[in-house]
Structure 1
């Protein structure tokens, strides 16, 4: 079992400016075999959290349990063995520049005491898995960024981990390369059942690969749950800001002025799925009620292979049909909720 349970986790650092609380009472459960995203802007505490998951950073308080076993109760020897079950992938690859691709993948196997022939055989299998068997004799300096990350993934898999921690693993890559790396991680998860934790500041990464997500800000978890639920109904200001900033990837359409410019009329946030995204619900509603509706913003994205999106609508000031129009949309598969000034600005 590779379920990760984090209970009331705290991490405090001392500095010349005083005490810094990097993590504040963080509690999460990451299911066995899940692809779980932890998202937040710089300074949110997400990288500190992921380093506490394998005790590279020892928490100041709280517990981390893997498979029901608290890491804080392990001896140093037991902790080293536990870390062998947890692979890590970093933003800047951390490859040995003076070693070939094959030798980079062999490195953790040598540390485990594997014989050279056995280690090389296993490394060759992993390079085939990540699509780099033909570059086994190349050096990292001869590889593209995406190829370097594939080597890093192969190296992380060398010890047959049950958990894979990805700390901003695609931040240094272009969008097309990022997409190919995420597809590789999804394939690894499906093929081997490895629990994958993705640390990122990009909502596009979360909606592409993750099933669940925790949104962090200021060392705390603002909200967590299924990606599709948080996208449809973000409860925290941090989640709403990340969704609003997600403008790349597979956006199909966007038009209208930003909602920050709105000065009159009630606003409704409409969430639609693949079952309703291509029906002219809004146009038909305008015809049915004979009342203008201003589309301030609209976009469509792919979340876990399902087309999902949102619209921000503004109704005419003084309209008496708003509730009836919300009901009209609801009956046609659209979810509508009020947008409040103090929340969205």
Structure 2
């Protein structure tokens, strides 16, 4: 699949999307709702960028501001160097051709079969019927549904419907793909297959993908970068591996440490969270530390996660009550290049 639509002439060294101080407010019944509050983000070409937060955090509002389906109350959204607020309606429609979108509930045309669903945006764009059909057949191969061309959406599984929606979104060779809770209606195994497909599309065609989700597991599985929204504000942003290893804000910590059991034990004194990389997992660090300081530690939690294709282990340890011994153990772990952070006070 070639990326034939060149409306966005992107400088590869700069962001493909720049969001600057974006605020969105809604007024109703003499009250004002602040859906977004001074959000600023840079998203580079080729990123798989996650935007995460709980319900009501402002995620869907932000994604709709990215293509100006919602106009920000203040601030600017620049796509491919173009300030969307300064475009005419005709120019905006043209730019939107390069910003495709897929949704939680697929939004397929139920009265049309699979290939006609994919052809629909192509015919609207003025492509001839024969050429549109050929393009749709290519897209069905990309998403692994070449044998479903004549099938109707009601005959498909949820995962197959989302694959059709992805094929349709790719029809006009977009530079950017917005995914608004695209896996929320799917079971875990189907979610993994859809995320693998999106990752493959990103790698093969260089399409920038923005994932809107409330699930940290989705971000960890596929995203290179993440922005965490809380109550309309940007709480934290950066590389996924950095935020997983050392979340700086309470909102980030709650998402990284999203297990209720972990949250409960963090009120103990001298609890630390350590993160192992592949390189650090071969040495029996904890055992050696116990032998070194002749003092036991309590392992409260241990797990391994897949962070964008790389295994990362984590543990939560309760260190000895003696302050001097606890601090020496923390230094010991840091000297061995482990990410170490104290976890007291993560939750109210």
TM-score under structure 2 length normalisation? 0.93
1:161-172 aligned within 5 A: 161-172=174-185
CA distance in 1, matches of 2:101, 2:95: 13
Counterpart Cα distance in 1 of 2:234 and 2:45: 20
Which consecutive unaligned segments of at least 5 residues does structure 2 have? 1-9
How big is each residue's C-alpha offset from its partner over 1:182-219, in whole Å with a ceiling of 9 and x where there is no partner? Answer: 11111111111111100000001001110000000000
Q: Does residue 235 in structure 1 map to residue 248 in structure 2? A: yes
- 1:273 CA drift (Å): 1.1
Give 2:139's aligned residue: 126
Q: In the alignment, is residue 260 of structure 1 matched against residue 264 of structure 2?
A: yes
In the other structure, the counterpart of 2:320 is 316
Q: Does 1:292 align with 2:305?
A: no
Q: Which moved more, 1:197-206 or 1:303-312?
A: 303-312
CA distance in 1, matches of 2:262, 2:135: 53
Contact 2:25–2:34 (CA under 8 A) maintained in structure 1: yes
- The answer to whether the 8 A contact 2:20-2:77 is kept is yes
Q: Match for 2:206 among 175, 193, 196?
A: 193
Equivalent pairs counted in the alignment come to: 335
Give the structure 1 partner of residue 224 of structure 2: 211
For residues 79-98 of structure 1, what are the structure 2 equivalents within 5 Å?
79-98=92-111
Indicate which of 21, 33, 48 corresponds to 1:35: 48
> Equivalents in 1 of 2:108, 2:262: separation in Å?
43
> Is 2:311 the counterpart of 1:307?
yes
Runs of 4+ in 1 over 3 A off after TM superposition: 261-265
How far 1:297 sits from its partner (Å)?
A: 1.5
Question: Alpha-carbon deviation of 1:17?
Answer: 6.1
- Tell me by how many angstroms 1:295 deviates: 1.1
SS across alignment from 1:141: helix
Partner of 1:274: 278
- Label 1:140 to 1:344 Cα distance change in 2 as closer, same or farther (>3 A): same
CA RMSD of aligned residues (A): 1.5
TM-aligned CA distance change 1:129 to 1:261, over 3 Å: closer
SS in 2 for 1:274: coil
Gap regions ≥5 residues in structure 1: 248-256
Q: 1:263 to 1:133 in 2, by over 3 A?
A: closer
For residues 74 and 214 of structure 2, the distance between their equivalents in structure 1, rounded to whole angstroms, comes to 25
CA distance in 1, matches of 2:38, 2:324: 46
Task: Give distance in 1, aligned partners of 2:114 and 2:263.
Answer: 50
| 1:221-267 deviation per Cα after TM superposition (whole angstroms, max 9, x unaligned) | 100000000001111111111112169xxxxxxxxx64524665312
Aligned partners of 1:122 and 1:158 also within 8 Å: yes
Query: Which residue is equivalent to 2:88?
Result: 75
Could you say if the C-alpha distance between residues 264 and 72 of structure 1 is closer, same or farther in structure 2, counting changes exceeding 3 Å? closer
Report how far residue 323 of structure 1 moved: 2.1
